[in-house]
């Protein structure tokens, strides 16, 4: 199987399967790629990151229903067009539509993932991620392979039509003092912070996976010990029964011998 197919199949399986199975199955798929003579694909599979439970719910929704992505894309395009035209009535109409669609898809996602009564925090993260997908093209592009929930905190759509930001943002920019820090430097620092946060998250992912693997090994060891203990208890009980029967035979033989000697 070509490298691209190995990786694509691994991605499709891992991001649809339950996150609790992710680490073990990823190791199996990477090993299979290595055995197939595709070390590069194996390395890429190993680098795939485990999704949080809420990210998995959204991924599974998108992978189970191809129409979800097109519905989100269509509404996002309508919202951008309305924002560019500054049509207040249209924006209000689409905002209502947005809320209905996000609520509908949230319910569908939880149903597909067989989570009829999820924790409130998980439901909120699923809703926030779907809402963010309507505002942020990067979130929308990653639907199906999300590793964590997304949150949108802007005041408008992240991608606006050509012609620049809305008037409120232009006014804010006009009030910025000339001595303010250059935009490039702020952006560089922001990206550095993002990179640092991503490195921290990657390390945390590795720590979680190591701890999970250790926990799994210990659970296996405990199960083996419990099985050995149950077997030992069964053998002990049988030995006690045999001992009791032997003692009973001994006592009967002693009584019979005593009668014969009288």
Per residue in 72-102, pLDDT (tens digit) is 999 999 998 888 887 788 888 999 999 999 9
User: pLDDT digit string (tens) for 175-198?
Assistant: 333 344 466 667 667 767 776 776
Residues 121, 36 share a domain: no
DSSP class of residue 176 equals S
Residues 91, 128 share a domain: yes
> How many structural domains comprise the chain?
3
pLDDT at 111: 94
Sequence-separated (6 or more) residues with CB below 8 Å from residue 25:
13, 14, 17
Element (H, E) at 41: helix 39-46
**Does pTM surpass 0.85?**
no
The whole-chain average pLDDT of the chain stands at 81
Q: Do residues 194 and 117 make contact, with C-beta atoms less than 8 angstroms apart? A: no
pLDDT at 147: 94
Residues 147, 232 share a domain: no
pLDDT at 214: 72
**Enclosing domain of residue 93:** 52-159
């Amino acid at each position: 199987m070509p490298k691209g197919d190995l990786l694509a199949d691994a991605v499709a399986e891992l991001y649809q399967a339950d996150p609790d199975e992710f680490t073990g199955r990823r190791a199996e798929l990477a090993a299979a790629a290595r055995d197939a003579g595709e070390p590069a694909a194996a390395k890429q599979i190993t680098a795939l990151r485990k999704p949080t439970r809420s990210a998995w719910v959204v991924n599974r929704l998108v992978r189970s229903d191809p129409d979800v992505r097109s519905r989100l894309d269509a509404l996002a395009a309508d919202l951008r067009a309305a924002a560019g035209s500054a049509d207040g009535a249209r924006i209000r109409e689409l905002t209502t539509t947005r809320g209905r669609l996000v609520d509908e898809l949230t319910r569908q996602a939880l149903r597909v993932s067989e989570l009829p009564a999820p924790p409130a925090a998980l439901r909120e993260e699923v809703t926030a991620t779907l809402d963010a997908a309507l505002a942020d093209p990067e979130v929308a592009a990653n639907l199906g392979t999300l590793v964590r929930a997304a949150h949108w905190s802007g005041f408008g759509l992240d991608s606006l039509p050509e012609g620049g930001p809305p008037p409120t943002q232009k006014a804010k920019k006009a009030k910025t003092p000339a001595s303010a820090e250059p935009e490039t430097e702020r952006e560089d620092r922001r990206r550095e912070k993002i990179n640092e946060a991503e490195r921290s998250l990657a390390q945390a992912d590795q720590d979680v996976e190591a701890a999970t693997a250790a926990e799994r090994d210990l659970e296996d060891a405990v199960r083996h010990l419990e099985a050995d203990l149950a077997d030992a208890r069964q053998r002990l009980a049988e030995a006690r029964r045999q001992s009791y029967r032997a003692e009973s035979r001994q006592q009967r033989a002693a009584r019979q011998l005593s009668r014969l000697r009288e």
